Structure 1
């Protein structure tokens, strides 16, 4: 950077920022799609949902 220009006018800082910025955008898109597609999915295995806690059904007692 011996040209005396500010850092934002050079190409290399933007190329270094591009990778992490694309990862953040991809993560946000993945989270949004996950909540839109699977947020209200039913529990099939017989468990119950109480708030944020999902409890599994009690296993039957095994006889010996």
Structure 2
């Protein structure tokens, strides 16, 4: 009975370590995704600005509706 309890406690310790490791990975990936999302948004804005300059037109999101 004691051996079985020790085995379960050992397995629990390994599982806790695995969960902690996975939690660290998820936290790091979340930070990376946030950074990449900001960079993509910035690049999209730059591309829209470059297109507006090249065509001499405002992007549709920046155009004022005709009723204004």
TM-score, length of structure 1 as denominator length: 0.45
Higher helix share goes to which structure?
Answer: 2
Higher strand share goes to which structure?
Answer: 1
Choose 1 or 2 for highest CA Rg: 2
TM-score, length of structure 2 as denominator length: 0.42
